[in-house]
A and B are shown apart, each in its own frame.
Chain A
Amino acid sequence: MTHDFERSIDGRVVLDSSDISRALTRLAHEIVERTHGAQNLTIMGIPTRGAALAQRIAAKIAEIQGSPVAIGALDVTMYRDDLRMRPARALQPTKIPSEGIEGRLVILVDDVLFSGRTIRAALDALSEHGRPEAVQLAVLVDRGHRELPIRADYVGKNLPTSQQEVIQVKLVEYDGSDEVTIERAK
C-alpha cells in the first residue's frame, strides 16, 4: 500500500522493533501451521514495504522449516483504480520466482490493510502471471475501514483507527528503524 504520509515526530508508537519482530514470527508460524508445512508456497510482497516484510516472513518460515521458500514481489501500480486521480506514479519492480505462480499457494504480503483497494489491484496483477491454486493475504497492520469485500488471513496487529488517523510503518530497509506509529492527520 502506498502512503504519502507526512513525516511527523509526534506520532504515537504502537509497535516497536521487537513488537514487529514478534508479530512477524507469529505470522510465519501461523502460515506454516495453516498451510500444513508451507509446501507449494510462494510469498509475494507488494512494494515497497510489503516486499521487505515478505523477505522477513520468508526468512522466518525457512528457519522454521529448514528449507527455502519461493519469494517474489508484485507491483500493483498499473492496476490501481485511482491511477487517474493522481499524477503518474513510478513503477516498482515485479519479480516472479522462477517456478512461477501457476498452481502455487500464493501469500500476498503488505504492510497496512486499509480500504482493500491495493489488494484488489494485486489480485488483478497476479492473474496476469498465472492461476494460483489459492491466494491468501498477510498484513502487518489491519486498520479497518474496508471499502471492498476483502479480509486478511494473517494479521500482525489489529489496530482500530479513525479515518482521520494516519498509520506509518517504518522499516529498517527504508527508514533506518522498525516502528509503527499512529497520528492524527493535520
Chain B
Amino acid sequence: MKHLLSAADLTKDQAIQILDTAKELAAATEQGVGKLPPLRGRTVVNLFFEDSTRTRMSFEAAAKRLSADVINFSAKGSSVSKGESLKDTALTLEAMGADAVVIRHNSSGAPHRLANAGWISGGVVNAGDGTHEHPTQALLDAYTMRQHLAGGEGDLKDLNVTIVGDVLHSRVARSNVLLLNTLGAKVRLVAPPTLLPYGVESWGCDVSYDLDDSLEGADAIMMLRVQRERMNAAYFPTAHEYSSRYGLNLSRMNRLAEHAIVMHPGPMNRGMEISADVADSKRSVIVEQVANGVSVRMAVLYLLLGGTESI
C-alpha cells in the first residue's frame, strides 16, 4: 500500500498492523522518547484546503516525532485563493520533493485524484475529503476502542458500537463503519431519517431512528458533530428538538453499560449533540482520542514512508 485514501482499502491484517505499530509508538512516547529517527530526511506536506486544527496539528506532531520535515500549506492566504488548481498545487509540491502529502479537501474524492492522476510520485494520506472519508480518524477511534474494550490487541470482534448523529455529512461515520466492519465490530447508526445518506442499508450495519432504543448493549457510543456549516437545508426542526431526541445527556449516559465509553471526534457542540457533563465525565475518552490520534498517524506515516515501499 502506497496511499491511505479510504478505510475500505485496509485489510484486517493491515488495520491491525497499524494499530499494533501505533501501540509501540505510543509506548515509546510514554517512555519519554520525544523523537524517533525513521523518517529523517523525508518531507511530509500538510495540504489543507479546509479549516482544521486538531487533524493538522496531529499530523504535524506525528511527522515531527518521526523526524520528518514538515511543510504546512493552508488554502487561506495561498495561491489557491488566487485561483490555482489542485493540479498546479500538486505539481509545485512534486517539484519541492514531497515524499508524502497529507490532504484535507472539501471535495469528496480529491485525495483519490491527487494519488492517481500522476501529478506526484509520493504517497497520499486522506485527512478528510468532503463528506466521503476520514480514515485516520477511524483508525484512532478503533485504537481507542481496542485499548478500552479489547485488551489493547487483536481485532474488535463482537464489540457493539453505536454511532449517533449527522451520518449524512459525516466522513467520520463512513470511515468508521468501513473499518469497524473490517475489524469485526457490530455497528448501529442512529440518526433522524433526514440525516441518513441514501443507500445506507447497503453499508452492512444496523440503522435506527431512536437513540433511547440503542443505549443498552452498546460498548462504545460515538456522538457526531452537528455540522452547522453544512446545514443549508432543514434537516431537523430546531436545535432544541435535535438535542432532546439525539443528544447524549447524563440520564441517557447512565443507561449505558458500566464499561461503555463515550467518544466524539471533535470539535464538540456542547449542549447540542453532547451535554457538557457527559463530555467531562469519566466515561468520556474524547481527550484520549486526540492523544491516540498522534500515535495512529505516526504509525500510518511510518508504515507508508519508513521502508522502500509500504505495507
Contacts and interface: CB of A to CB of B under 8 A. Distances in A.
Interface string A56-74: 0000000000000000000
Contact of A96 (B20, B21, B31): B31
A18 B236 CA distance: 75
A91 B20 CA distance: 8
A78 interface: yes
Given A88-B310, A94-B31, A96-B31, A78 B20 contact: no
Contact of B311 (A78, A87, A92, A128): A87
Interface in B271-311: 302-311
B307 A84 contact: yes
Given A79-B37, A83-B38, A96-B31, A89 B25 contact: no
Nearest to A130: B32
Of A85, A87, A88, which is in contact with the most chain B CB atoms at under 10 Å from its CB?
A88
Given A78-B37, A85-B308, A129-B33, A90 B27 contact: no
A87 B308 contact: yes
Interface residues of A, number: 19
Contacts of A90: 17, 20-21
A111 interface: no
A94 B27 CA distance: 8
A87 B307 contact: yes
A91 B33 contact: no
Given A83-B38, A129-B32, A129-B33, A88 B302 contact: yes
A78 B38 CA distance: 5
B36 A78 contact: yes
A142 to B, nearest CB: 27
Contacts of B37: 78-79, 124
B307 A128 contact: no
B257 interface: no
Interface in A96-134: 96, 124, 128-129
Interface in B68-89: none
B28 interface: yes
Interface string B17-52: 100110011011001110011100000000000000
B31 A83 contact: no
A129 B31 contact: yes
B47 to A, nearest CB: 22
Contact of B309 (A83, A87, A92): A87
B32 A93 contact: no
Nearest to B21: A91
Contact of A94 (B21, B28, B311): B28
Contacts of A87: 307-311
Given A94-B31, A129-B32, A129-B33, A75 B308 contact: no
B36 to A, nearest CB: 5
A36 interface: no
Nearest to A128: B33
Contacts of A79: 37
Given A88-B311, A128-B33, A129-B31, A83 B306 contact: yes
Contacts of B303: 88
A76 to B, nearest CB: 11
A86 interface: yes
Interface of A: 75, 78-79, 83-94, 96, 124, 128-129
18 contacts: A78-B38, A78-B302, A79-B37, A85-B307, A85-B308, A86-B307, A86-B308, A87-B308, A88-B304, A88-B305, A88-B310, A90-B21, A91-B25, A91-B302, A93-B24, A93-B27, A94-B27, A128-B33
Closest 6 CB pairs of A and B: A88-B307, A88-B306, A91-B24, A87-B307, A78-B38, A128-B33
Given A78-B37, A84-B308, 11 more contacts: A78-B36, A79-B37, A83-B38, A83-B306, A84-B307, A88-B307, A91-B21, A91-B25, A94-B24, A124-B37, A128-B33
